[in-house]
Structure 1
Amino acid sequence: MKQLRELTPLLPEGTIVDLKYATSDNFTGEVLYTGEDTVAKLLEPAAYALAYAAQLMIKPGLFLVVWDAHRPVEAHNKLVAFHKGPDNYVLDPDKSMHPKGLAVDVTLADKNGNLLDMATGFDRFGSEAHDGAEGLSWQQQMNRKLLKEFMKEAGFVVWPYEWWHFNFVGFPPNR
């Protein structure tokens, strides 16, 4: 079995880890992660790649905020059962990268810990959360683009339906 790696020791100072499913601040309104599941983890290559992305963000005065990482299958099944919308928002566990430790939900914060305006929050299901959504302000578009560029540099690609969701695909060939 591949090794999951705890994120916090790898991430630069200033990174915020706020696992939304370890709290009731998510679309279910329930705490889904308890015990060991409240520790943010990814498969080792993805964990190191995320640390690299977080390091890139520091120079322009930004910090990574981690909302979700590896998701236990049991918790993922609860999300599938709870979600009543289109399937492309909460995939079955065999299709989702979260239970595999290869997906992360993130955003950006400024040096004071204030979240950058991305037009929607976490777990907002609808077209305004899509990558490339129309009707966003110029600043919201630029904030999303910046996050996407940092994550791409580290080997992550954005999920088309959620601007905050990134799947690890590996470091680009030129890295």
Structure 2
Amino acid sequence: MRSIKSILIALLAITSISSASAQSLPGGFVYLRDIDPTIIQDVRYATPNNFVGRPLAGYGAGECVVKREVGLRLKAVQEELTAQNLSLKMFDCYRPARASLDMVKWSQNGRETAAERRYNPKIPKSELFRLGYIASRSQHSTGAALDLTLVDLKADNSGKYDPTKTYADCTAPVEARAPEGSVDMGTGYDCTDARGHTAAPSINPEQRAWRRRLVAAMARQGFVNYSKEWWHFSLPGAGGAAYDFPIQPRRS
């Protein structure tokens, strides 16, 4: 009897420790994988494959974290797209406030590398904040803003980014720029150029149709697109205070 009691006490202790060590998220945030694991994720700021060229502060894992309401609405969008052999692909979701400050420091370091120019072919990076391409206080930090694109599930999406390869800038034809494993929206993600504006007249009809399709699918769930970035959407009323907790690996 005493031995059974000891085992039960030990099991309770283990459960207690596991619960205490489990990842908890504040303010109604959730991991998107817990809402819909079918949505593809490529959280670029957790990797060197972004305009800064290294992981940003606060990105300890490539996980999409969102407010629960945002996640549920993304799930509804995904269900609609799945019937069309399409999928959402998330590039960025919740962004720790420290990451935005990291971007500010990057913009002020006085250097312009070739890799950085791929994302900013015509605009000096010191001008990106003034022109509204990057914000020092981002809505992403509230959990209500997202960067995303569409994936055609019937297409060959096997192309991978190769850090040793020299790619054309983000406005170049899709064959020449860095692969993103998604439909051709006319520019790459995070392209600070007029061609990256959602209604840019300089893109071709097929690219324009893909953008309209994405905007329409998101709008049906209440998401609003930012006119200077075809990839950026937010859900009005779902935000609130900005947060700065780091993104940690999700524990199953």
| Alpha-carbon distance between aligned partners in 1 of 2:81 and 2:183, rounded to the nearest angstrom | 13
Q: Indicate the residue corresponding to 1:143 in structure 2.
A: 210
Q: Indicate the residue corresponding to 1:97 in structure 2.
A: 139
| Alpha-carbon distance between aligned partners in 2 of 1:119 and 1:26, rounded to the nearest angstrom | 18
Match of 1:140, as an amino acid?
Answer: Q
Deviation, 1:52, is 1.3
Q: 1:157-168 alignment to 2 at 5 Å?
A: 157-168=224-235
Deviation, 1:77, is 1.1
Count of residues paired in the alignment:
167
| Alpha-carbon distance between aligned partners in 2 of 1:46 and 1:81, rounded to the nearest angstrom | 30
Superposition RMSD in Å: 1.7
Deviation, 1:82, is 2.1
Judge conservation of contact 2:42–2:62 (CA < 8 Å) in 1. no
Judge conservation of contact 2:86–2:152 (CA < 8 Å) in 1. yes
Deviation, 1:29, is 0.5
After the TM superposition, which parts of structure 1 deviate over 3 Å for at least 4 consecutive aligned residues?
none
Deviation, 1:39, is 2.1
**Paired residue secondary structure (2:127):** coil
Which of 52, 58, 72 pairs up with 1:48? 72
**Paired residue secondary structure (1:99):** helix
User: Larger Rg: 1 or 2?
Assistant: 2
TM-score of the superposed pair, with normalisation by structure 1:
0.88
Q: Indicate the residue corresponding to 2:95 in structure 1.
A: 71
Deviation, 1:100, is 0.5
| Alpha-carbon distance between aligned partners in 1 of 2:86 and 2:67, rounded to the nearest angstrom | 24
**Paired residue secondary structure (1:9):** helix
Identical amino acids, percent of aligned pairs = 29
Q: Indicate the residue corresponding to 1:8 in structure 2.
A: 33
Point out where structure 1 has 5 or more consecutive residues left out of the alignment: none
Confirm or deny that 1:154 pairs with 2:248. Answer: no
Q: Indicate the residue corresponding to 1:108 in structure 2.
A: 150
